[in-house]
């Protein structure tokens, strides 16, 4: 495709006028929305909501007073929800390269300021590309949290975006984002299809690439929070990508069929990554962490990712990477912690959390397939749970 950026700008200004024009469920949030977000949504202007094309929920907890950046904010739905969540002392910046989308977002600044009873607005919208945030005047080491909703798949240079996120986050900051993933390399033909790319499919991120780019940039290993299946209902698009076969309970057959049938499996998934400070010296050993509560909406248990839940008062043994992620982040104050002393007797039962270890290259492929499999399984179990 000659120019990915201008094709995407065309798609999100001329082709799509509202959520109803989408041809797949890729840019479409499915599943249940928490009550706290639903009540904020009531205050979001209908014109802003009509042009929402996100694929997940990008609202990690404990955002009050935070500075948050939304990459590819579109018409600003998530920016305005975040504006409410960070409160009047917090600040939210949205960046998007499509003028028509940014214009809709900007037109509703006053509306939301009044709705939220703020004396002055706490949001700002910048028109520009997310591959070079510092060129847009965005400061390095500035944001507590960076979010993004169904955008990184649309950029041809995903590595550049992840590197930029690392730069603009404060040490210990969190990158929390939903996006579209594919289980195999997508052919040049499909990548050149303007509709498939615009619908967030043929630019889908490969699992291997996420893990590679994130760890190379200096982030902790990405932690999968949640995942959803993507349905392709449009017959023309279905013919192009094939109808994938799923054996959600038999990993071997799932991998075998996906690779030899040529059919691509897509999921949307939400990951959280943490920027570890460069001078990190303190945490290179396992720690014992105890969640003490205090994270809003997670009084009894903090759902960290799809496998780890810190229950209030429970002693959890964490490897250095996980301990480092939690203890350098804004969640630190919600935990008590101490280095694990193998000679000491601890009161109470200790829960051991499995940490992903660095694997040799030949095993990385299997790790990523496993991640994809886990996301699919998570997606289908969540669907079963909801129905």
Ligand X SMILES: C[S@@+](CC[C@H](N)C(=O)[O-])C[C@H]1O[C@@H](n2cnc3c(N)ncnc32)[C@H](O)[C@@H]1O
Decide: is 369 part of the binding site for ligand X (CB under 6 A).
no
Decide: is 23 part of the binding site for ligand X (CB under 6 A).
no
Decide: is 130 part of the binding site for ligand X (CB under 6 A).
yes
Decide: is 8 part of the binding site for ligand X (CB under 6 A).
yes
Residue from 28, 57, 73, 379 in contact with ligand X (CB under 6 A):
73
Decide: is 158 part of the binding site for ligand X (CB under 6 A).
no
Angstrom distance (rounded) from CA 189 to CA 202: 9
Residues 210-229 vs ligand X: string with x where CB under 6 A?
--------------------
Angstrom distance (rounded) from CA 9 to CA 18: 14
Decide: is 131 part of the binding site for ligand X (CB under 6 A).
yes
Decide: is 129 part of the binding site for ligand X (CB under 6 A).
yes
Smallest CA-to-CA distance from 105 within 139, 136, 79 is with 79
Rg (CA), the chain: 21
Smallest CA-to-CA distance from 309 within 226, 384, 220 is with 226
The minimum distance between CB 308 and ligand X, in angstroms, equals 27
Query: Near ligand X by CB under 6 A, which window of 85-93, 97-105, 115-123, 277-285?
Result: 97-105
Decide: is 199 part of the binding site for ligand X (CB under 6 A).
no
Decide: is 149 part of the binding site for ligand X (CB under 6 A).
yes
For 64, which DSSP code? T
The minimum distance between CB 279 and ligand X, in angstroms, equals 31
Nearer to ligand X (CB atom), residue 21 or residue 110: 21
Decide: is 178 part of the binding site for ligand X (CB under 6 A).
no
Query: Near ligand X by CB under 6 A, which window of 38-46, 151-159, 304-312, 320-328?
Result: 151-159
Decide: is 179 part of the binding site for ligand X (CB under 6 A).
no
Residue from 123, 151, 214, 315 in contact with ligand X (CB under 6 A):
151
Decide: is 147 part of the binding site for ligand X (CB under 6 A).
no
Angstrom distance (rounded) from CA 345 to CA 347: 7
Contact 323, 286 (CB under 8 A): yes
What is the per-residue DSSP string for 144-176?
EEEEEES-GGG-S-HHHHHHHHHHHEEEEEEEE
Residue from 7, 25, 98, 258 in contact with ligand X (CB under 6 A):
98
Determine which helix (DSSP H) or strand (DSSP E) holds 109, and give its type and residue range: helix 109-115
The minimum distance between CB 13 and ligand X, in angstroms, equals 8
Decide: is 327 part of the binding site for ligand X (CB under 6 A).
no
Angstrom distance (rounded) from CA 89 to CA 103: 25
For residues 217-250, one letter each, b for 16 or more C-beta atoms within 10 angstroms of the residue's C-beta and e for the rest, the string is bbbbbbbbbbbbbbebeeeebeebbeebebeeee
Residue from 7, 101, 226, 254 in contact with ligand X (CB under 6 A):
101
For residues 307-327, one letter each, b for 16 or more C-beta atoms within 10 angstroms of the residue's C-beta and e for the rest, the string is ebbbeeeebbbbbebbbbbbb
Residue 180 φ/ψ, nearest 5 degrees: -105, 135
Decide: is 52 part of the binding site for ligand X (CB under 6 A).
yes
Decide: is 78 part of the binding site for ligand X (CB under 6 A).
yes
What contacts 2, CB < 8 A, 6 or more positions away? Answer: none
Smallest CA-to-CA distance from 151 within 38, 71, 267 is with 71
Strand partners, 303: 309
Decide: is 150 part of the binding site for ligand X (CB under 6 A).
yes
The site that binds ligand X (CB under 6 A) totals a number of residues, namely 25
The minimum distance between CB 232 and ligand X, in angstroms, equals 16
Decide: is 12 part of the binding site for ligand X (CB under 6 A).
yes
Query: Near ligand X by CB under 6 A, which window of 61-69, 80-88, 128-136, 283-291?
Result: 128-136
Structure tokens given for 117: 């009873």
| Interface with ligand X (CB under 6 A) | 5, 8, 12, 27, 52-54, 72-74, 77-78, 96-98, 101, 129-131, 149-151, 154-155, 200
């Amino acid at each position: 495709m000659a120019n990915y950026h201008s094709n995407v700008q065309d798609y999100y200004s001329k082709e799509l006028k509202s959520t109803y024009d989408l041809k797949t469920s890729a840019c479409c949030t499915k599943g249940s929305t928490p009550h706290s977000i639903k009540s904020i949504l009531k205050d979001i202007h209908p014109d802003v909501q009509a042009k929402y094309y996100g694929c997940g929920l990008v609202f990690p907890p404990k955002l009050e007073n935070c500075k948050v950046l939304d990459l590819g904010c579109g018409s600003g739905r998530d920016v305005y929800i975040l504006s409410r969540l960070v409160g009047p002392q917090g600040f939210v910046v949205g960046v998007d390269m499509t003028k028509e989308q940014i214009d809709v977002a900007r037109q509703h600044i006053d509306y939301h300021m009044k709705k939220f009873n703020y004396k002055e607005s706490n949001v700002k919208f910048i028109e520009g590309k997310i591959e070079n945030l510092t060129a847009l005047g965005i400061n390095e080491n500035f944001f507590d949290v960076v979010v993004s909703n169904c955008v990184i798949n649309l950029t041809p240079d995903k590595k550049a975006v992840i590197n930029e996120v690392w730069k603009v986050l404060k040490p210990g900051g969190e990158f929390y984002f939903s996006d579209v993933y594919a289980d195999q390399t997508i052919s040049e033909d499909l990548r050149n299809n303007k509709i498939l790319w615009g619908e967030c499919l043929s630019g889908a991120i490969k699992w291997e690439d996420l893990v590679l780019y994130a760890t190379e940039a200096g982030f902790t290993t990405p932690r999968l929070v949640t995942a959803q299946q993507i349905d392709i209902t449009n017959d023309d698009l279905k013919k192009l990508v094939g109808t994938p076969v799923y054996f959600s309970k038999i990993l071997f057959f799932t991998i075998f069929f996906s690779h030899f049938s040529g059919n691509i499996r897509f999921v949307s998934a939400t990951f959280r990554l943490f920027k570890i400070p460069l001078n990190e010296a303190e945490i290179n050993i396992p720690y014992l962490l105890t969640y003490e509560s205090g994270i809003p909406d997670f009084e009894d248990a903090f759902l960290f990712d799809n496998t780890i839940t810190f229950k209030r008062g429970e002693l959890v043994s964490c490897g250095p990477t996980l301990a480092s992620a939690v203890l350098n982040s804004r969640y630190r104050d919600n935990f008590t912690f101490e280095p694990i002393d193998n000679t000491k007797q601890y009161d109470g039962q200790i829960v051991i959390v499995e940490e992903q270890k660095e694997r040799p290259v030949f095993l990385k492929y299997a790790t990523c397939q496993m991640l994809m499999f886990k996301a699919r399984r998570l997606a289908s179990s969540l669907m079963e749970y909801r129905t």
